[in-house]
Chain A
């Protein structure tokens, strides 16, 4: 507003600046169709004013934020209060230390340790659950292997049982053959009785003869 930075702005400077802001709105209202029905409704009047000019305002503001000067100002203002913030922060820290109370940095450090502890617990949980999962998988594989072996043993046992039952059948048949042979040779009463087929294998010729009959 004032070209001489060392002199404070005068009231005239202020009203000149205010007029520059209000002039577009005054021009817009002057071009509007005067409608007595709208004059008593401030919200509708204000809304119609804005509807007529919002495209202009939007474009103006977009150009403003897109200008290199604005970018420079924005960047400078982002760091402008840094020294003030540092001063306030240091003053607060000194006061809290004097009052033997924890500062923000102290609480932050404590929280960092808690966060680190939480991370370690999470890692430990993951490791343990992975180990448990691996153990369980190995256990399952072992159980499956044992199950397969049991099945194999059962099959072999079944085979042995089948062989046993066949042997029993053969034994019965041999006993029957022996009985028939005994019936066929009644004159040899003094001869030593034939032993059971279990201890003596029948001769092939006798069996063949018996089978032939």
Chain B
């Protein structure tokens, strides 16, 4: 046997042993490490205020309120030091708040979208303004959080929102999409599913999301770990991402029913037919400064679902950024750190009041 062959075999066995050790004792990783305080809570929802370090000073008076999605946990925006959008914004001098919806229980199965849009978000906005002692804020919505933010603004004409930043928001569901095919009433009995479960399990939502790219999500992601075993930082990055992917939250049954029926099946938001507590959501009433960030390689919320928003709002000051990233890579990947975050800061800095 040649020397190269021996070396290859040794390296291969070493990697094999490393994989076995990793699989046998899955290390716990720390996530969401940016210091924060809870300034308000209601039911499972928590409103967090992120604290700057002693050496940082607040540069901008206009606070940022981040509205996260109802799927998965929000620490994807604060994954680890150096890979945290929240940490970046705080370092740039912004006053950052996050509305964490928490983990709903069976008692929350009756919660509807209207409850989130008309009860939780307005109260969170009020508490942010009180805590920050200001009169206007920036609303930042990611994924479904963007949809909720848009509905809130459309139903509250006098909302004290100066700027609206949306990251991959699903707005227009008219284009063909796998989820739309799976949720077609011919294939899927929505009412029976929701009535049976009450609270849609996190595993069901996670499975459905992974099924959009089955090979990549069920096979390739683990193979990619084998390639990175010699790089400790890459392994840590993989482990933190996997922790978030596997850390889903259930969804209230009525919210899921409305999300599938009115959005995936009915496409009511983009056509201004969506009603929340008998109030019609009219996107043309949105006039806040708008930054719409779209991920070109997003298979969960493809660009065709986010881009139409630009033509539906009445904002005079609006801009769209298209990044070559996926749905999660948009906020937590290399492109996020190098492209999105600086672009976001540049756009927001000129639209936030200085201290």
A-side residues, CB < 8 A to B, are 36-38, 40-44, 47, 50, 54, 57-58, 61-62, 64-66, 68, 71-72, 74-76, 78-79, 82, 85-86, 104, 107-109, 111-112, 114-115, 118-119, 122, 126
Contacts and interface: CB of A to CB of B under 8 A. Distances in A.
A84 to B, nearest CB: 10
Contacts of B5: 36-37, 40
25 contacts: A37-B5, A37-B9, A43-B13, A43-B15, A43-B226, A44-B8, A57-B215, A57-B219, A58-B213, A65-B211, A66-B178, A71-B182, A71-B188, A74-B187, A75-B182, A75-B187, A78-B193, A78-B204, A79-B193, A85-B196, A104-B106, A111-B105, A115-B43, A115-B107, A119-B43
Interface of B: 1-2, 4-5, 8-9, 12-13, 15-16, 19, 42-43, 105-108, 123, 126, 178, 181-182, 184, 186-189, 192-193, 196, 204, 211-216, 219-220, 223, 226
A79 B1 contact: no
Q: Chain B: interface secondary structure? A: helix
Given A37-B8, A58-B213, A111-B105, 14 more contacts: A36-B5, A41-B9, A43-B226, A58-B215, A62-B215, A71-B184, A74-B182, A75-B182, A75-B188, A79-B192, A108-B107, A115-B108, A118-B43, A122-B123
B192 A82 contact: yes
A62 B4 CA distance: 38
Contacts of A122: 42, 123
A76 B184 CA distance: 12
Secondary structure dominating the interface of A: helix
Most buried by A among B1, B107, B211: B107
Contacts of B188: 71, 74-75, 78
A70 B184 CA distance: 12
| 4 interchain residue pairs of minimum CB distance | A37-B5, A41-B12, A111-B107, A75-B187
Given A66-B178, A71-B181, A79-B193, A118 B215 contact: no
